Structure 1
Amino acid sequence: MPVLTPTVIDTARLRLRWITAADAAAQFSLFGDPVLRRYGGAAAWTRLEQAEESVAKALQAYEDGASLLFAITLPETGEVIGNTRLYDFHDQNRRCDIGYILAHAHQGKGYMFEALEATLQHAFSALDLNRIEADVDPRNHASYKVLERLGFRKEGFMPERWFVNGEWCDTINYGLLRRYWEHARRGDHGE
């Protein structure tokens, strides 16, 4: 597990910061939204206690190095509008998974691209990762499009991987190698 230290990342329009106990209501707003959770691999939360438990687990995961959860905030107001998360770290292989969520009112503005770009840069530089993986429901076009814009490559398809809200859901697997990321940042798209 990586050693995680409290981190704040400022982008052109956003601030990414570690989650705090005071963020439980904001987390509930995100993960309690059934539309946002439709493609998330689990049902929407129905109780604030679920958010409080999740925040407590995130705080413990910082200490354990098990997961890194960034709150995506608007710097001028401090409003939490979403999350990015690095989790399931594999030390020997220097890889992890990535997840993300963004409130409806802030979609379509390029915020998720900006937040993920900052999260990925942190993952490849500060955490020295070599590979980041994501799985996306193929019906979630916005999600896989942002991954592709960031350089993730489609690597596989798994039918009926998740059972959520009474329906089987498929997964597209995506991967991003550090060298792909570095080449894209230099404008060199070679392998």
Structure 2
Amino acid sequence: MLPRPFPFEKLPTLQTKKLVLQQLTNNHLKSYHELCSEEKTMKSYGLHPHTDLQQTQKTLNILASWFQANTAIRWGVFVKSENQKIVGDIGFWQFDVLRGRAEIAAKMSVNFQGQGFAYEALCSVIDFGFSHLNLNGIDANIALTNKAPIYLVKKLGFREIGIRPELSYSSIQECWQDMAFFSLNRKDWNLADE
């Protein structure tokens, strides 16, 4: 069963070969704003790019309040070789305590895609979810037009469950979007590790 509240007051920092995943704070405002103001990056997630620091500050405040309320966890994804440059964010939300499940979500700068960073970050966060949050399953909802993340979750062993009609609103297209629904259970992840 998922521990409530989270079994930590501060989100643990995760290290991989190329990345550092750490909790986003106000200290990251300027670098996070660079990510959130990338038009191509935000458009691929159906969002308008941030035009000023206040928008990014509001986002950081929302993420912090969700963490304090035990409803979401979000790490910044920093590349070690890029002087700790933030290249994305990743985490869990939509916790279903009864079923021991959560939804994983990530955003990666288009300038850093195709270098294995998303794969490495997802592996680390999935491990964390199963080992430290005691999740039994992790779900992902991805816009049908977002082909790279669909390929990535399949590569990680997620099973495609189906289409969830009009699940997410795209402020770019000003309409509701159908989302591909994927799921990964702990036992399948553990089998992949063997």
Same fold (TM over 0.5): yes
Query: Bigger shift: 139-148 or 23-32?
Result: 23-32
Q: 1:2 offset after TM fit, Å?
A: 4.2
Which residue number in structure 2 is paired with residue 69 of structure 1? 74
Count of aligned positions: 186
From 153, 165, 168, the counterpart of 1:162: 168
Gaps of 5+ in 2: none
Tell me if 1:177 matches 2:185.
Answer: yes
In 2, the alpha carbon distance for the partners of 1:160 and 1:33 equals: 25
Question: Within 5 Å, which residues of 2 pair with 1:28-43?
Answer: 28-43=33-48
Which residue number in structure 2 is paired with residue 87 of structure 1? 93
In 2, the alpha carbon distance for the partners of 1:178 and 1:22 equals: 34
Task: Determine helix, strand or coil for the equivalent of 1:120.
Answer: helix
Q: One-letter code of the match for 1:166?
A: Q
Q: Is the 8 A contact 1:32 1:45 kept in 2?
A: yes
| Aligned-residue identity in percent | 23
In 1, the alpha carbon distance for the partners of 2:96 and 2:46 equals: 21
Tell me if 1:117 matches 2:105.
Answer: no
In 1, the alpha carbon distance for the partners of 2:127 and 2:169 equals: 32
RMSD: 1.7
Tell me if 1:149 matches 2:155.
Answer: yes
In 1, the alpha carbon distance for the partners of 2:39 and 2:178 equals: 18
Question: Any idea what the Cα deviations from partners look like across 1:18-39, whole Å, max 9, x if unmatched?
Answer: 1111212222222232322224
In 1, the alpha carbon distance for the partners of 2:90 and 2:181 equals: 18
In 2, the alpha carbon distance for the partners of 1:112 and 1:184 equals: 18
Q: One-letter code of the match for 2:153?
A: L
Instruction: Give the direction of change, closer, same or farther, for the CA distance of 1:159–1:39 in structure 2 (3 Å limit).
Output: farther
Tell me if 1:55 matches 2:63.
Answer: no
Tell me if 1:15 matches 2:20.
Answer: yes
Runs of 4+ in 1 over 6 A off after TM superposition: none
Q: 1:78 offset after TM fit, Å?
A: 1.5
Q: Is the 8 A contact 1:2 1:127 kept in 2?
A: no
Q: 1:56 offset after TM fit, Å?
A: 1.5
TM-score (norm 2): 0.88
Q: Is the 8 A contact 2:14 2:20 kept in 1?
A: yes
TM-score (norm 1): 0.89
Q: Is the 8 A contact 2:36 2:49 kept in 1?
A: yes
